[in-house]
């Protein structure tokens, strides 16, 4: 596969449909691979998948046949537990064979329980211990400035994740260096492991917080593909500041009995639940994949 | 006694960094508001574009270093040892060691030789913390001259390295150009340096205790005891060949370090020898306590990290072996 550089494609209905269809397929794969593994984090993978799909298939300039291409745009999944979403996308793009998703979390697999940049082609940073991906992305963005390269660095954080103090250390440093080649997306699905974010460590007013830390803040519906594409494009126009896009999302999005049902934060579906979920995610034009 | 020559390991670090910066445009340096103490400010002055002072954000700094390293940079990151390894332990583990990235953590103010600042700033566990991490190399230079050698060597070695320096100006055991008693040496990571041959006891020392070990050997000589003195500048990977060879030769081992006796050089040697060639052994170091504030040399004496402390330990270990040759 040659270099992928699609971001100048107009945001037509056709493009939106194509990305939505892909995201639906990835939702099936996320559930299939986590159920097969018997563990994992499907809820936060489903909330993140629309944005990750848009980023990889439309926004990033990258080359799956050359994952270490120096001039590539980077995507860091700071909320590493959502890696089933990343694995579905990377395998679709050919970073590794699709079949690997069936080995998720198994001994010897290239697909670890949390992202591992050494084992998995296309993974930019090993994450999983929360709060570190934004700092790593800052390092990549600083390197771009030093090397006078025009690549961008995208990083996705979870809303629970920003409880971590390191995130706010990083927020100050990104603003200090005016990293306008850094675009962060906050997957605001409103739940963390123990429940509703505002019940444990209130985050609001979220946009004001990031603004006061010197970031350009945008908000979008993280499940509206057209809005995602438009917002990502707008974010690229910001100069002199890092950008934080708050993506309002739904944990477990796409499966009725998983939506806002936090027990699926870190628990795979049973085979029976999976069957039900796959029915809801069926694509009439598409007869694969099945578990 | 001839007049003791002294120098700061951190000054040597600062100078070596500047030289590295001139040689290699890919070298970048990070610090967390301690650059005038760690001496990275010297690099920052000459290469402001490649120097990032990220404020007092050690955790953040470690992960930024990792991100820079993914883009082909050789990253040096500095703060005090207690913060580099303790405060940011999980960041070093997750972002640097697990990823096997090219980040050199050069921490100053190791050990209790930090002195008056007290236990909050003494770093008695950093070697243990770094040594336990897969992929991590752990180096403790014996003096300022060896520090220069170490910095150039680790810059050439891919992957994560922890280098531990200290605060005060410490005695020089080497001469300019990395010579020992006039003999030119070649520095090699992972290869301990046999400084004095002996037959009754082996003293394995690291960092500022190497000087004390040499003094201890002189004290022992007066008592008719022949001590072998080895500078174990690389604690991980341990020079197992030399350690085992010397243990077989003398049958008694003393380790000496400005660090807890748990998990540092003493721990590494004990772990290794008990699986290969167990011999009576004594560990000189901080004996599982937080230490007081105080002038550094008085502190070392108070806690027994001295030539006489090492010599006493050597005699004990020889007698427990049962044969004084």
Which residue of B62, B67, B95 to mutate against A (max A Cβ within 10 Å)?
Answer: B67
pLDDT of residue B322: 66
Interacting residues of B125 by C-beta distance below 8 A, sequence separation 6+: B85, B86, B259, B260, B262, B263
Q: How far apart are the first and last CA of chain B?
A: 28
By C-alpha distance, the chain B residue nearest A118 is B99
pLDDT of residue B241: 98
Question: Helical H runs in chain A?
Answer: 13-37, 42-54, 83-93, 133-146, 165-176, 197-200, 206-212, 225-236, 271-280
Q: Which residues of B carry out catalysis?
A: 58
Distance CA B264, CA A279 (A): 58
Residue A176 with chain B: CB contacts under 8 Å:
54-55
Residues B213 and B275 in one domain: yes
On whether the CB atoms of residues B303 and B290 are closer than 8 A, the answer is no
Residues B68 and B147 in one domain: yes
Residues B115 and B13 in one domain: yes
Residues B155 and B13 in one domain: yes
Helix (H, G, I), strand (E, B) or coil at A46: helix
Interface contact flag, A143 B71, Cβ < 8 Å: yes
Residues B137 and B25 in one domain: yes
The domain tally of chain B equals 2
Distance CA A168, CA B179 (A): 48
Smallest CA–CA separation between B67 and chain A, in Å?
4
**Residue at a domain's end among B118, B144, B171:** B171
Q: Identify the CA nearest to B325 among candidates B230, B217, B246, B249.
A: B249
pLDDT of A291 above 50:
no
Across residues A98-122, what is the average pLDDT?
Answer: 98
* B104 domain residue, yes or no: yes
Interface contact flag, B60 A169, Cβ < 8 Å: yes
Average pLDDT score over chain A: 96
* B139 domain residue, yes or no: yes
Distance CA B84, CA B161 (A): 12
Residue A165 with chain B: CB contacts under 8 Å:
59
Q: What is the CATH number of the domain that holds B135?
A: 3.40.50.970
Interface contact flag, B57 A132, Cβ < 8 Å: no
Interacting residues of A5 by C-beta distance below 8 A, sequence separation 6+: A61
On whether the CB atoms of residues A72 and A53 are closer than 8 A, the answer is no
pLDDT of B45 above 70:
yes
By C-alpha distance, the chain B residue nearest A143 is B68
Interface contact flag, A144 B71, Cβ < 8 Å: yes
Across residues A261-266, what is the average pLDDT?
Answer: 92
Residues B164 and B195 in one domain: no
Interface contact flag, B71 A140, Cβ < 8 Å: yes
- What domain range includes position B133? 6-171
B64 contacts chain A (CB < 8 A)? yes
Where residue B140 falls among pLDDT bands split at 50, 70, 90? very high
Interface contact flag, B68 A142, Cβ < 8 Å: yes
pLDDT of residue B208: 98
Domain ranges of chain A: 10-280
The C-alpha angle with vertex B231 and arms to B230 and B235, in degrees rounded to 5, equals 115
Nearest neighbour of B66 by CB, restricted to A136, A146, A147: A136
Residue A131 with chain B: CB contacts under 8 Å:
59
* B154 domain residue, yes or no: yes
Smallest CA–CA separation between A14 and chain B, in Å?
36
Interface contact flag, A170 B57, Cβ < 8 Å: yes
Interface contact flag, A116 B68, Cβ < 8 Å: no
Smallest CA–CA separation between A173 and chain B, in Å?
6
Smallest CA–CA separation between A112 and chain B, in Å?
13
Q: How many Cβ atoms from other residues are within 10 Å of residue B288's Cβ?
A: 9
Q: How many Cβ atoms from other residues are within 10 Å of residue B46's Cβ?
A: 14
Question: Is the predicted ipTM greater than 0.85, yes or no?
Answer: yes
By C-alpha distance, the chain A residue nearest B90 is A129
Residue contacts between A and B (CB atoms, under 8 Å): 109
DSSP secondary structure string for all residues of A138-203? HHHHHHHHHTT----EEEEEETGGGGSHHHHHHHHHHHHTT-TTEEEEEEE-SEETTEEHHHHS--
Q: What is the CATH number of the domain that holds B237?
A: 3.40.50.920
Buried b (16+ CB within 10 A) or exposed e, A195-212: eebeeeeebeebeebbee
Smallest CA–CA separation between A181 and chain B, in Å?
14
Backbone dihedral angles phi then psi of residue B55, each to the nearest 5 degrees: 75, -175
Give the up-direction half-sphere exposure of residue B54: CA atoms within 13 A in the CB hemisphere: 29
Interface contact flag, B59 A166, Cβ < 8 Å: yes
pLDDT of B218 above 80:
yes
pLDDT of B324 above 50:
no
On whether the CB atoms of residues B285 and B259 are closer than 8 A, the answer is yes
Distance CA B32, CA B105 (A): 12
pLDDT > 90: what percent of chain A?
A: 96
Residue A140 with chain B: CB contacts under 8 Å:
67-68, 70-71
Smallest CA–CA separation between B270 and chain A, in Å?
32
Interface contact flag, A139 B64, Cβ < 8 Å: yes
Which residue of A125, A131, A135, A182 to mutate against B (max B Cβ within 10 Å)?
Answer: A135
Residues B164 and B251 in one domain: no
Across residues B154-169, what is the average pLDDT?
Answer: 98
Residues B11 and B136 in one domain: yes
Interface contact flag, A146 B28, Cβ < 8 Å: yes
Tokens of A68: 């270490």
Burial class (CB in 10 A: 0-12, 13-18, 19+), B81: buried
Interface contact flag, A136 B70, Cβ < 8 Å: yes
Residue A138 with chain B: CB contacts under 8 Å:
60, 63-64, 67
B76 contacts chain A (CB < 8 A)? no
Distance CA A86, CA A84 (A): 5
Smallest CA–CA separation between A149 and chain B, in Å?
11
Residue A172 with chain B: CB contacts under 8 Å:
55, 57
pLDDT of residue A286: 72
Residue A139 with chain B: CB contacts under 8 Å:
63-71
Across residues A95-99, what is the average pLDDT?
Answer: 98
Q: What is the CATH code for A10-280?
A: 3.40.50.970
Q: Which residues of A touch B (CB under 8 A)?
A: 70, 76, 116-118, 124-129, 131-144, 146-147, 165-166, 169-170, 172-173, 176-177
Where residue A210 falls among pLDDT bands split at 50, 70, 90? very high
Interface contact flag, A70 B72, Cβ < 8 Å: yes
Residues B111 and B201 in one domain: no
pLDDT of residue B4: 82
Buried b (16+ CB within 10 A) or exposed e, A52-85: bbbbbbbbbbbbbeebeeeebbbbbbbbbbbbbb
Distance CA B68, CA B54 (A): 14
Give the up-direction half-sphere exposure of residue B48: CA atoms within 13 A in the CB hemisphere: 2
Interface contact flag, A124 B70, Cβ < 8 Å: yes
pLDDT of B1 above 60:
no
> Phi/psi zone of residue A60: left (φ > 0), alpha (ψ -120 to 50 degrees), beta?
beta
Query: pLDDT digit string (tens) for B231-277?
Result: 999 999 999 999 999 999 999 999 999 999 999 999 999 999 999 99
Smallest CA–CA separation between A62 and chain B, in Å?
15
Query: pLDDT digit string (tens) for B72-118?
Result: 999 999 999 999 999 999 999 999 999 999 999 999 999 999 999 99
Longest dimension (CA), chain A: 53
By C-alpha distance, the chain B residue nearest A170 is B60
* B1 domain residue, yes or no: no
Where residue B325 falls among pLDDT bands split at 50, 70, 90? very low
Distance CA A97, CA A182 (A): 30
On whether the CB atoms of residues B186 and B129 are closer than 8 A, the answer is no
Residues B130 and B215 in one domain: no
Residues B236 and B156 in one domain: no
pLDDT of A149 above 60:
yes
- Which letter does DSSP use for residue A229 in this model? H
Average pLDDT score over chain B: 97
pLDDT of B3 above 90:
no
Distance CA A138, CA A131 (A): 12
């Amino acid at each position: 596969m040659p270099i992928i550089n699609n971001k100048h494609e107009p945001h037509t209905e056709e493009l939106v449909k194509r990305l939505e269809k892909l995201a639906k397929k990835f939702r099936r794969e996320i559930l299939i691979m986590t159920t097969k593994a018997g563990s994992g984090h499907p809820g936060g993978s489903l909330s993140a998948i629309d944005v990750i799909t848009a980023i990889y298939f439309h926004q990033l300039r990258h080359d799956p046949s050359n994952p270490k291409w120096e001039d590539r745009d980077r995507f860091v999944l700071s909320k590493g537990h959502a890696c089933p979403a990343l694995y579905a996308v990377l395998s679709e793009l050919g970073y590794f064979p699709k079949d690997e998703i069936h080995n998720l979390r198994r001994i010897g697999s290239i697909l670890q329980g949390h992202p591992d940049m050494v084992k998995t082609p296309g993974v930019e940073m090993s994450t999983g211990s929360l709060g570190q991906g934004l700092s790593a992305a800052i390092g990549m963005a600083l390197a771009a400035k030093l090397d006078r390269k025009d690549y961008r660095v995208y990083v996705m954080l979870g809303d629970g994740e920003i409880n971590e103090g390191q995130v706010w250390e990083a927020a100050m440093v990104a603003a200090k260096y005016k990293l306008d080649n850094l675009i962060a997306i906050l997957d605001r699905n409103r739940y963390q492991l123990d429940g509703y974010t505002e019940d444990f460590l209130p985050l609001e007013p979220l946009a004001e917080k990031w603004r006061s830390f010197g970031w350009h803040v945008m908000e979008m519906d993280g499940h509206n593909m057209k809005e995602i594409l438009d917002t990502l494009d707008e974010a690229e126009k910001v100069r002199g500041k890092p950008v934080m896009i708050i993506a309002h999302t739904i944990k477990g999005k796409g499966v009725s009995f998983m939506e806002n049902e936090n027990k699926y934060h870190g628990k795979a579906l049973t085979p029976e639940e999976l069957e039900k979920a796959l029915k809801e995610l069926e694509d009439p034009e598409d007869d694969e994949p099945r578990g | 006694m001839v007049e003791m020559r002294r120098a700061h390991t951190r000054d040597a670090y600062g100078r070596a960094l500047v030289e590295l910066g001139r040689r290699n445009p890919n070298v970048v340096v990070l610090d967390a508001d301690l650059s005038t103490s760690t001496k990275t400010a010297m690099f920052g002055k000459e290469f402001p574009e490649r120097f990032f002072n990220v404020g007092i954000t050690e955790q953040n700094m470690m992960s930024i270093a990792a991100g820079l390293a993914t883009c082909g940079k050789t990253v040096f990151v500095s703060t005090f040892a207690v913060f580099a390894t303790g405060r940011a332990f999980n960041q070093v583990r997750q972002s640097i060691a697990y990823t096997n990235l090219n980040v050199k953590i050069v921490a100053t103010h190791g050990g209790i030789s930090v002195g008056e600042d007290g236990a909050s700033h003494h770093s008695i566990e950093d070697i243990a913390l770094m040594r336990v991490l897969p992929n991590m190399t752990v180096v403790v230079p014996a003096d300022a001259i060896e520090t220069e050698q170490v910095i150039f060597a680790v810059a050439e070695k891919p992957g994560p390295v922890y280098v531990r320096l200290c605060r005060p100006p410490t005695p020089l055991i080497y001469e300019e150009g990395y010579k020992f008693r006039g003999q030119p040496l070649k520095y090699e990571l992972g290869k301990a340096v046999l400084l004095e041959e002996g037959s009754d006891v082996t003293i394995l020392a690291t960092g500022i205790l190497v000087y004390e070990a040499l003094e201890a050997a002189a004290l022992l000589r007066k008592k008719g005891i022949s001590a072998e003195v080895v500078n174990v500048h690389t604690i991980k990977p341990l020079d197992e060949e030399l350690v085992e060879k010397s243990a077989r030769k003398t049958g008694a081992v003393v380790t000496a370090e400005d660090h807890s006796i748990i998990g540092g050089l003493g721990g590494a040697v004990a772990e290794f020898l008990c699986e290969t060639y167990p011999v009576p052994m004594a560990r000189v170091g901080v004996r599982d306590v937080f230490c007081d504030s105080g002038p550094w040399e008085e502190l070392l004496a108070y806690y027994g990290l001295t030539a006489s402390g090492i010599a006493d330990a050597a005699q004990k270990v020889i007698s427990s072996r049962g044969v004084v040759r």
